[in-house]
Amino acid sequence: MKKLFSSFCLLFLLISCSNDADYSEKTSVSNKADYSEKTSVSKDFKKEFDQSIAHLKDIIDQNQKQIKVLENRIASNNLILTKQFDVEVSQLRKLVNHIPGLEHKYGYIKEINQENLSMYIEFVNKKADNKAPNGFEIEMKESKRVSVSSNADFYVLNSNDLIKISEAEELQNKVNEHNRLFNLYFVNKKLILASEQYLP
């Protein structure tokens, strides 16, 4: 009886060990399969990600090339428009200078009297001179007070842009900053327009 019981216990232990071994083997195989699958998915994801990055870089490069082309076109068009504008301005000045009653002079605005609508101006002659730094020389002519039209316009340079000045006090401050050479236009001896001359 004891031998039979011992044999039964031994058989039970062998079966248990066999089951444990099978389970461990199955678990190990399953883990390896899961790891292999995850590794494969990770590689596929990285490949797709790298391809997407490369595609985006190509798009960016193409856009940058297109932007460069557009910038060159804009610069070329601006140059053409600037030349055309200069020609049109020259033509307009030619016509304006021949309007009866219109007189064009150069001068420096020194003092503004808003109460009686007058200005004290130093008039000058602007003579072309290739040897001069700006391509011309300025010669003092005369200084006198002139009448100003009630609807006269005044423009001063801000960097390279002309800006309109509406207030007499602001204009006085601008001319006090430094000598500003103006193109001065008169009709019937009254100043109707003063526009600062650009000096290179």
DSSP string, 29-58: HHHHHHHHHHHHHHHHHHHHHHHHHHHHHH
As to burial, measured by CB atoms within 10 angstroms (0-12 exposed, 13-18 middle, 19+ buried), residue 76 is: exposed
β-pair type (161-165, 136-158): antiparallel
| Tens digits of pLDDT across the chain (200 residues) | 544 445 555 555 545 555 554 545 555 555 555 656 666 667 777 777 788 888 888 888 888 888 888 888 888 777 777 777 777 777 777 777 667 888 999 999 999 998 889 999 999 998 888 887 777 888 999 999 999 999 999 999 988 889 999 899 999 999 999 999 999 999 989 999 999 998 77
* Beta bridge mates, 136: 128
Planar angle of CA 127, 130, 133, nearest 5 degrees: 90
- Give the tokens for residue 187: 């009709």
pTM of the entire predicted model = 0.55
Q: Which CATH class is domain 103-196?
A: mainly beta
Contact present, 134 and 127 (Cβ < 8 Å): no
Domain ranges of the chain: 1-98, 103-196
**What pLDDT is attached to residue 2?**
47
Residue closest to 184 by CA, chosen among 137, 129, 147: 147
Q: Which DSSP category does 132 fall into?
A: S
Q: Which DSSP category does 198 fall into?
A: P
Overall residue count recorded for the chain in this entry: 200
Which run of H or of E encompasses 187?
strand 181-187
CA distance 73 to 55: 27
Phi, psi of 67 (to 5 degrees): -60, -40
> How far is residue 57 from each of residues 61, 66, 69, 87, 147, measured CA to CA in Å?
6, 14, 18, 45, 67
Q: To which residue do tokens 């001319």 refer?
A: 175
Helix, coil or strand: residue 160: coil
CA distance 124 to 133: 18
**What pLDDT is attached to residue 96?**
73
